[in-house]
Structure 1
Amino acid sequence: MAFNASSIPFPSSDAWSGFVAEAQKFLPQSNSRLALLAFVNIPVFAIVINVLRQLILPRDRSLPPEVFHWIPIIGSAPSYGNDPIAFLADAQKKYGNVFTFVMLGRKMTVALGSAGNNFILGGKVANLSAEEAYTPLTTPVFGKDVVYDVPNEVLMEQKKFIKVGLSTENFRSYVGMIEDEVSEYMAHDPSFRTFQMNDINEWGEFDPLKVLAEMTILTATRTLQGKEVRSNMDKTFSKLFSDLDGGFTPLHMIFPNLPLESYRKRDAAQKKLSEFYISIINGRRDNTSTNDETDMIAALMNQHYRSGRALPDHEIAHIMIALLMAGQHTSSTTGAWTILHIASRPDIADALYQEQVEKFSNPDGTLRSPTYDELKTLTVLDAVIRETLRLHPPIHSIMRKVRADFPVPPTLAAPSKDGVYVVPKGHFVLASPAVSQRDPTLWHECDAWEPARWNDADGEAQKAFKQYADENGEKVDFGFGAVSKGTESPYQPFGAGRHRCIGEQFAYLQLGTLITTMVRKIEMRLPAGMPGPNYHTMITMPKTPRTITYRRRNFD
């Protein structure tokens, strides 16, 4: 039946006037009500258009498939933010190893699995930029002219400077320092009140995240940061560190500059900490007795760029801040997860203790402290740390910004009918070793914390580690010395390629010494079960409740 507009009966002028008068009683009476209606209806209209665009409009076949989302701009941010591992794994089942999702206006192309790790973390600087991805977060916190605030080739030189301070000779001297700090903390901090009592049967409790955060910063300042920093670990320094830490969140990464109190505190703390480190540098230049220090400040003060330019004082200060911030978060969180798992598994806790009894027993039945070289012989400890890093890598996602159109290799994703997928310039790419480290096709009982898997010389864990360590001797020099590339391994707890963490060996030393000291002094239990992960922070921390109960061992 044809629609005929002329057949619609229009009212007379008198009737129309009456209709309008009646209708005005129900219409919005002010601009604010109109604005309210617009506020309600425009987002609904935008959602409808966004859904229709995804369902009806033809998709560019050269682009990877896009994860369906309801709300424009926001996209999949809520799902990814609440549980990134579950979100990525679910999308992988639907779309394969390569797909794109929208996160707060950004197009994020994900590449999963070992091949995905290699595609992104092994990508060339000409195509992918870590600096453009991370500088909005790191530069206000670390400071100018270091890390991601400089071109990649400069960053590689700065990593070479840091590597000078991470020498085996220094590490050997750090073991005793770390143990002293842990012992002193346990002897005096209120968290270990029961440990300080005479009754060895008395049980106490502590929060592992709080305790490990405090122990980590104390041991890091005593070793890498230097005696001046350690001696200033008072309430003033703690407040500055807390204010700076408050500016190191996902919010600050997405919105680098907002007129909020946390941003003002971040900037003020960064300035004061920079001045603090520069004052230490100047003091050392005036005092020749500090020339034999083994900390990172001493190492950095003697470095020069290839051009011959000395490393400026403000860059030394900012590198020290970067080391403090980055190392503090990752090591303390990994330590907390490790202690939680040990407390949840009395059999593993006993194996760790017996390993020390076998190797370090004194004639009187007490245990002596291991040396740096002896720490490396503790196979149970090594398996415990590696397994914790497999299940709880500190950073679940690693991003890069695409500098030039970047084709996806057919080995990673089957070509579309129009050819290979291409990630356009301006998009972001994301790798997640956290996903490949729980891949059920690669790892037996992938979600279980089972250190014993690392004892099988031919098992999946050792195979992955050999790929990560490149034990066949293939090393790459990105500008800071030959290192294992490791980008093709499904196990990458410290990243891979040119951005592999330079502090990896120190982290093992710090964690190993800290854990052996605690295991030697106390028995631990976890009464409430393992806590879940909190993905709302930059580093994946354990949720509450996470209380560990403990009691002092007989000999201590």
Structure 2
Amino acid sequence: MSHNATVPNLDSWSGYLTEAQAHLLGMSNTRLALIALINAPVIIILLNAVWQLIAPRDPSKPPTVFHWLPIIGSAVGYGNDPLNFFLACREKYGDVFTFILFGRRVTVALGAKGNNFVLGGKSTVLNAEDAYTHLTTPVFGKDVVYDVPNEKFMEQKRFVKVGLSTENLRAYVGMIEDEVEEYMNNDANFRVYGMNDINDWGMFDVVSVLQEITILTASRTLQGKEVRSKLDKTFSQLYNDLDGGFTPLNFLFPNLPLESYRKRDRANVKMTEFYVDIIQKRRQAGADSDHDMIAALIKQTYRDGTPLKDHEIAHILIALLMAGQHTSSATGSWALLHIAENPDVGEALYQEQVKYFGTPDGNLRSMTYEELRELPVLDAVIRETLRLHPPIHSIMRYVRDDVSVPPSLAAPSKDGVFVVPKGHYVLASPSVSQMDPRVWKDAQRFDVSRWTDPDGVAAQAFKAYADENGEKIDYGFGAVSKGTESPYQPFGAGRHRCIGEQFAYLQLGTLISTMIRKVELRLKDPVPAHNYHTMIVMPKKPRNILYRRRKFD
């Protein structure tokens, strides 16, 4: 073999090397791409954080809450515990600041002055319809509430007030009392324990029970006898499907292709048909003596003479059912939990019933509407419950035009007052003003005695909210107290203040009184924490209450 035969071919080796290098380079690029893909979220998060730290801040705009996640922003902290999120932000940024909520820029204005700025603002600038219609219209239906211009909505609120007349409220007390008694005598939650031995203690999930009772009482009173007679599994399923479309998810993402959204839409159609059928039969019969909302709404006409259409009446009834059911069941649940936690409060409530309604034979007679309004312990329990647990912790408005923040709310900088730009949202939080340690002594403690001091903070706050002797404002549904400057706003304030306040007090008062007459309540575990993942703030599980029937029952 020749020497040359043993020498490697350099051209061949060069080809091998080039191929190997290409292979290694390809592997390297793949790895780099994979590493870049894996680390891209981290890089984006870091860039977002760095940009917030180094970018020049516009001094004319409220400070923005620092957030790690772009687009998502502060959604996690706000969604899990809005009260503590707001209080922590206030410590760092003051009473006015902006946070990012899934791409939305939300400017928060805290305290009584913040409430006044947001809820007392002009509807043409700080608009509720633009903020909520994508949530409410699929559930309530078209042509009512936030699906119509504000002026028309105010007229619809005026129609509802007709159904909440004093005459009707008087009739409702006995109806609610009957429904609660029948439920407690026949429902499985109450039927077993204490029937043979008054020392037997039963237990019930307070939210489940209150949801059932409130829908029974609301249907018996506001909704009408036809609705009450048809409360079956079919109706319950329709209600549950509608309710499934009334969540924070629906507010943030109104058009997701989810089955719960499709169920919501189908339920709205069927529920509308259900009510329209009742309305048409009522019109044909010509009956108008019922003390319910259908009888009141059938007679109403807009200012231009146009009568309410059947589908509008149906959708108003759906809105009343949904809104009233959530708020009353939540407030009632919180009230019973606190009564169970404080046996002395429960005993005071019971002795108040004996004092005002006791009879010579040792029984308790029925209550009247006027008498129910004059029970100081009951009134204090309801007010304190609403202070600690307002049904809605955040009230938003969409900003249609640039709006300046009043200097009294946020001190002007050297460059002038803050301006909230068009396209932002503004937010007021009753939870903050009602739980503010700078305003309320022992703010987080359930203390009914704070409402008995005529010169105390609670009494002054309620006076500012009710303002019964002050100037009234008519937004189109009758003169009401504006109430936007009070730190106590359990039913909202301004033009969108809840018109069902009196009914809510009546429903809650009658419900609590009737239950306290029949049972003692105790709490085995502490009062549950707030569940902020629902539209209306409910107690987290477990939320069980122990009960024992009273001797005379």
| TM-score, normalised via structure 1 length | 0.95
CA–CA distance in 2 between the matches of 1:118 and 1:13?
80
Selected match of 2:376 from 379, 382, 391? 379
Q: Return the offset for 1:112.
A: 0.2
2:24 is the alignment partner of 1:22 = yes
Counterpart for residue 487 of structure 1: 484
Kindly indicate whether the alpha-carbon contact (under 8 Å) linking 1:137 and 1:252 is maintained by their aligned counterparts in 2: yes
Instruction: Specify whether residues 272 and 37 from structure 1 end up closer, same or farther in structure 2 by C-alpha distance, changes over 3 A only.
Output: farther
Report the CA distance between 1:129 and its aligned residue: 0.4
- Is residue 164 from structure 1 mapped to residue 162 from structure 2 by the alignment? yes
Contact 1:186/1:195 (<8 A) preserved: no
Q: Is 1:337–1:392's contact at 8 Å kept on the other side of the alignment?
A: yes
Distance in 2 between the 1:535 and 1:40 partners? 33
Matching residue of 1:47 = 45
Q: Which amino acid aligns with 2:395?
A: I
Per the alignment, residue 73 of structure 2 pairs with: 75
What is the alpha-carbon distance in structure 2 between the residues aligned to residue 249 and residue 375 of structure 1?
A: 34
Whether 1:305 aligns to 2:305 is no
Q: How far off is 1:94 after superposition?
A: 0.3
Deviations 1:485-542 (A, max 9, x none): 0000000000000000010110000000000000000000001111100000101100
Q: 1:265 aligns with which of 255, 263, 267?
A: 263
Distance change >3 Å, CA 360–CA 268, structure 1 → 2: same
Other-structure match for 2:184: 186
State the Cα distance separating 1:57 from its structure 2 match. Answer: 1.0
Q: Is 1:278–1:314's contact at 8 Å kept on the other side of the alignment?
A: yes
What does 1:509-548 correspond to in 2, within 5 Å? 509-548=506-545
Residues 1:202 and 2:200 aligned together: yes
| Equivalent residue for 1:390, pick from 362, 387, 390 | 387
**SS of residue in 2 equivalent to 1:462:** helix
Distance, in Å, in 1 between the alignment partners of 2:362 and 2:372 is: 20
Q: Shift of residue 433 of structure 1?
A: 1.1
| One-letter code aligned to 1:42 | A
- Which residue is equivalent to 1:331? 328
2:128–2:146 Cα contact (<8 Å) kept: yes
Helix, strand or coil: the match of 1:28?
A: helix
Q: Structure 1 CA distance, aligned partners of 2:490 and 2:92?
A: 26
Structure 1 counterpart of 2:10: none
- Secondary structure of the equivalent of 2:98? strand
Q: How many residues align?
A: 540
Matching residue of 1:425: 422
Matches within 5 A, 1:71-220: 71-195=69-193, 197-220=195-218
Secondary structure of the 1:492 match is coil
Aligned match of 2:11: none
Amino acid at match of 1:21: H
Question: Secondary structure at the residue paired with 1:62?
Answer: coil
Question: Match for 2:288 among 287, 291, 298?
Answer: 291
Distance (whole Å) between structure 1 residues aligned to residue 382 and residue 102 of structure 2: 35
Gaps of 5+ in 1: 1-11
Say if 1:187 and 1:195, in contact at 8 Å, map to a contact too.
no
What letter is aligned with 1:387? E
Deviation at 1:45, TM superposition (A): 2.6
1:14 shift after superposition:
8.6
1: CA distance, partners of 2:231 / 2:384:
32
Q: Deviations over 1:194-250 (max 9, x none)?
A: 356232211100011000010000000000000000000001000000000011000
Match of 1:524, SS state, is strand
Which residue of 493, 496, 500 maps to 1:499? 496
Q: Distance in 1 between matches of 2:35 and 2:396?
A: 40
Cross-structure match for 2:340: 343
Q: Deviations over 1:172-195 (max 9, x none)?
A: 110010011001111111111335
What code does the residue aligned with 1:502 have?
Answer: I
Aligned counterparts of 1:201 and 1:72: Cα–Cα separation in 2: 58
CA contact (8 A) 1:194 1:551 kept: no
Instruction: Give the distance between the partners of 2:478 and 2:470, measured in 1 at CA.
Output: 14
Give, in whole Å, the separation in 2 of the partners of 1:257 and 1:141. Answer: 13
Q: Which residue in 2 is equivalent to 1:4?
A: none
Contact 1:75 1:105 in 2 (8 A): yes
Inter-partner Cα distance in structure 2 for 1:286 and 1:157: 25
The residue type equivalent to 2:67 in the other structure is: H
Tell me the alpha carbon deviations over residues 278-297 of structure 1, each in whole angstroms, 9 at most, x when there is no partner. 00011111213x32111001
* Alpha-carbon distance in structure 1 between the residues aligned to 2:37 and 2:393: 37
Q: Find the aligned partners of 2:127 and 2:235 in 1 and give their Cα distance.
A: 34
Distance in structure 1 (CA, Å) of the matches to 2:192 and 2:378: 26
The amino acid of 1:506's aligned partner reads F
- Which aligned runs of 4 or more in structure 1 are off by greater than 6 angstroms? 12-16
| Equivalent residue letter for 1:381 | L
| Structure 1 residues 382-410: Cα deviation after superposition (integer angstroms, max 9, x where no partner) | 00000000000000000000000000111
Q: CA deviation at 1:362?
A: 1.3
TM-score, normalization: structure 2? 0.96
Amino acid at match of 1:222: R
Overall identity of the aligned pairs, in %: 67
> For the residues of structure 2 that align with 1:156 and 1:119, how far apart are their CA atoms?
20
The aligned counterpart of 1:354 is 351
Q: Is the 8 A contact 1:400 1:428 kept in 2?
A: yes
Q: C-alpha offsets along residues 128-148 of structure 1, whole Å, 9 cap, x if unaligned?
A: 100000001000000000000
Query: Once the 2 structures are TM-superposed, how far is the Cα of residue 38 of structure 1 from its aligned partner?
Result: 5.5
Distance 1:149 1:447 in 2: 37
Deviation at 1:18, TM superposition (A): 4.3
Question: Distance between the aligned counterparts of 1:547 and 1:191, measured in 2?
Answer: 11
Contact (CA 8 Å) 2:194, 2:201: kept in 1 or not? Answer: no
1:44 deviates by: 2.4
User: Deviation of residue 471 (structure 1)?
Assistant: 3.2
CA distance in 1, matches of 2:102, 2:465: 33
When structure 1 is superposed on structure 2, of 16-25 and 152-161 the one drifting more is: 16-25
State the distance in 2 between where 1:425 and 1:16 align: 61
Name 2:220's counterpart in structure 1.
222
1:457 to 454, 457, 465: 454
Q: 1:233 matched to which residue of 2?
A: 231
Q: Whose Rg is larger?
A: 2
What do the CA deviations read for 1:342-365 (whole angstroms, capped 9, x no partner)? 000000000000001111111111
1:37 Cα deviation from its structure 2 partner: 5.1
Structure 2 CA distance for partners of 1:500 and 1:203, relative to 1, 3 Å: same
